[in-house]
Homo-oligomer: A and B are copies of this chain.
Amino acid sequence: MAELQLFGTWGSPFSKRVEMGLKLKGLEYEFIEEDIKNKSPLLQKYNPVHQKVPVLLHKGKPIAESLVILEYIDDTWDVGSPILPKSPYDRAMARFWAKFIDEKCIPTLRKACWSVGSEQEKAKEEAAILLKLLDSQVEGKKFFGGDTFGLVDIAASFIAYWFGILAECGEVQILNKDKFPNLCEWIDVFTNNSFVKEILPPKDILTEKFKALFQAAKQARTA
């Protein structure tokens, strides 16, 4: 058995976060693809509380929740590139914005894509406010933490990649260069980064998956 095993799915932005963390450190790991519709007994054993991917298994000990796993990786291996900055204040800022992305941005962006009518309009307005805050955070910087790729970039990868494909499939317009120039520039840098490109799931397969989901949601609404 490998020292490090990652239970994830090929398309999950949260699994991919952990892959980015592991690869930043140059760590070898065995990837175990989970079927979310039919969760394995191992996933249920290792993450009984949430029964979700990702779970990192290190020497048989499980860790769940992507941001918790990223901190664990950074705490455990002082090799490769750091995930969190060194200074306590910069670490606090990274944690603050990663939390903001998880608790505010991602749920609102998802709602803006999947809801309809007035609920969707409201979510789109809220999303614009949240994205503006992120936009100002990355102004004049290559990455959220400055010159180096780190925790907030990893946390924001849903916004950089998945959200764009989701919005395209759902025909939702929110994120554009006029309103969010800094964020769009960061997305450009992020998605063209060779390290990141190797990890992101293929756009065509994600597109196919999302289109089918939108189709099913539409059918369910009109059924």
Contacts and interface: CB of A to CB of B under 8 A. Distances in A.
Interface of A: 49, 58, 61, 63-65, 67-69, 71-72, 75-76, 88-89, 91-92, 95-96, 99-100, 103, 133
A174 B54 CA distance: 32
Task: Tell me the dominant secondary structure on chain A's binding face.
Answer: helix
A49 B99 CA distance: 12
Contacts of A76: 88
Given A69-B92, A75-B92, 16 more contacts: A49-B100, A49-B133, A58-B89, A61-B89, A63-B92, A63-B96, A65-B99, A68-B95, A68-B99, A71-B92, A72-B88, A72-B91, A72-B92, A75-B88, A75-B91, A103-B103
Nearest to A89: B61
30 contacts: A49-B96, A49-B100, A49-B133, A58-B89, A61-B89, A63-B89, A63-B92, A63-B96, A64-B96, A65-B95, A65-B96, A65-B99, A67-B99, A68-B92, A68-B95, A68-B96, A68-B99, A69-B92, A71-B91, A71-B92, A71-B95, A72-B88, A72-B89, A72-B91, A72-B92, A75-B88, A75-B91, A75-B92, A76-B88, A103-B103
A182 B196 CA distance: 45
Most buried by B among A68, A89, A92, A99: A92
